[in-house]
Amino acid sequence: MPDQDRIVAIGLLTQRDVFALGHDLSRVYPIDEAPCFGALLGAIDDADRAFHRAHDARQRVSAPRHGATPRA
């Protein structure tokens, strides 16, 4: 896929946001009629929670314990 066609962001905007951003948006797809929009939001939330759980777990593993002495 050419770089110019690569998706770099997906955003949820209100109509006011769209008007404020105006011509700075290259493409806008309305989702009013999307029958599975609730499921999409749920999947995004699930993925976000999983990401943060994994990130937090990595932080706990890599963080030095309080009072631990470094090894040489």
Ordered per-residue pLDDT tens for the chain, 72 residues: 567 777 777 788 888 998 998 888 888 888 776 678 788 888 989 999 999 999 888 888 886 666 666 655
H or E element in which residue 47 lies: helix 37-62
Distance CA 46, CA 24 (A): 30
Does residue 69 form part of some domain?
A: no
Does residue 72 form part of some domain?
A: no
H or E element in which residue 16 lies: helix 15-21
Q: Tell me, yes or no, if the pTM score tops 0.85.
A: no
Two tokens, residue 39: 């499921």
Q: How many structural domains are present in the chain?
A: 1
Q: Which domain holds residue 36?
A: 3-62
Longest dimension (CA), the chain: 62
Assess contact for 37 and 29: CB atoms under 8 A.
no
